[in-house]
Amino acid sequence: MFNKILIANRGEIAVRIIRACREMKIKTVAVYSTADAESLPVQMADEAVCIGPPAPRDSYLNAPNIISAAHITGADAIHPGIGFLSERSNFAEAVEACGITFIGPSGASMDKMGDKSIARETMQRAGVPVVPGGTFTTAQEALELAKKIGFPLLVKASFGGGGRGIRSVQNEEELPRAIEIASNEAASAFGSGDVYLEKFIEEPRHIEVQVIGDKHGHAVHLGERDCSIQSLRRQKIVEEAPAANLAPALRNRLGDAAVRAAKAVGYSGAGTIECLVDKHGNFYFMEMNKRLQVEHCITEMVTGIDIVKTQILVASGEKLQFSQKEIRLNGHAIEVRINAEDPERNFAPSAGKIEKVILPGGLGVRVDTHIYSGYEVPPYYDSLLAKVIVWGKDRDDAIARAQRCLMEMEVVGVKTNIAFCQKILSNAYFRRGEYTTDFLQRRILSEMSAKDSG
């Protein structure tokens, strides 16, 4: 087992990893930018190393500085957390080349699933359904492919995720400009402007399956999560596990396909197979997130499996400690992402000093956060402040508990989306589990606009 793990990340996920390491009696090293000098991970870790100024490219994306920090502190493993360098195969390979263990999949596995066009081909060979689409090299090829796929369609970044580098296209005239915008955005966010075309699935649900594999060829799934409640920028807001109103046969097919996908690339560690499920019950592979997910917590709540500890054990060479038959889902879990943003101003980020924080608690409640009274929310990073995670004996119980938690929660000093999330939980369509990825536009934002105009 590792003696010391460096966490190459910040915020609530760094806190989450530090807590897992403490329980495993593993020392931790936090890295931080100058903007995060007073952050909670820095205060909690056994050691902390400044790796650069606030801009991510100079700090959390600065691989040489991070690896140097690991050498200086004697860390024998690096956990990349979520985002930043977590899905960069060249970073994983550089870490391993320096004699340090990368807690995640191999660079080779990342490459097979990192380029989404290659991933599509890999999944097709593994018998996993994919959304109709393809790659192109010239404008003429793009137009011919678009006609073959049919409109509407999506232009999507070949690398990365999180809703960036995606543009919808309704007709031929919109295609060139959409490709240009998506490519530029992808290049800025992920370092590659490669994009591909994909059929737009109307009224889909965004269902993802948590998988874990070890270095001995074993892989299992831990059930699915519904992540269809998303912002206009395709950022997830509310997630639940298991998915509501999902036929048992479809649930089994999703799980089986996810395991096949993981085994097809020799996957080791925690990953997520993301799919679209249409209104007819057909599902299609979208992409694989080759890292820990923000919403891993709800899977932990319904399975009782600590995914972060399992990541660490698998990276150290241990076999999975459970088989597929031993995994059981118990009850229902919901996660609500609390962001520093202003829903009244098109969800504009809100930076500044937090003057007061009241966090909810009680039976079946977990709050993953890095904020505290007096914490200064920097303007340079993701706006996530906290994840309110609840468990209930069934879905209705979980919704009631989540609502109660948001009533208790208070963050003073910056704008938040707490009240907006209450609207989601109170919506009749959400409560019935009748929602797709356009839920926010159809059921929440449209109602807010109608009230404003009235």
Distance of CA 152 to the CA centre of its chain: 26
Q: Which entry of 291, 366, 395, 401 is annotated as an active-site residue?
A: 291
Give the tokens for residue 367.
């709050």
- How far is 299 from 258, CA to CA, in rounded Å? 15
Task: Identify which of 92, 102, 70 has the alpha carbon closest to the alpha carbon of residue 4.
Answer: 70
Give the tokens for residue 246.
């999902």
Give the tokens for residue 397.
């119980």
Cis omega (within 30 of 0) for bond into 41? no
First to last CA, the chain: 63
SS3 content of the chain, % helix, strand, coil (to 5): 40, 25, 35
**Number of neighbouring beta carbons within 10 Å of residue 397:** 15
User: Phi and psi for 246 in degrees, rounded to 5?
Assistant: -105, 125
Q: What is the dihedral of CA 93, 98, 104, 108, to 10 degrees?
A: 20
3-state class (DSSP) for residue 419 = helix
Task: Identify which of 67, 61, 69 has the alpha carbon closest to the alpha carbon of residue 97.
Answer: 67
Cis omega (within 30 of 0) for bond into 56? no
Instruction: Indicate if 401 belongs to the active site.
Output: no
DSSP string, 12-60: HHHHHHHHHHHHTT-EEEEEEEGGGTT-HHHHHSSEEEEEESSSGGGTT
Judge whether 63 and 91 are in contact, CB under 8 Å.
yes
Beta-carbon contacts of 224 under 8 Å, excluding residues fewer than 6 positions away, are 207, 208, 209, 210, 241, 242, 243, 246, 251, 254, 255
Q: What is the dihedral of CA 220, 75, 13, 54, to 10 degrees?
A: -140
Task: Identify which of 399, 338, 389 has the alpha carbon closest to the alpha carbon of residue 366.
Answer: 389
Residues recognised as catalytic: 291
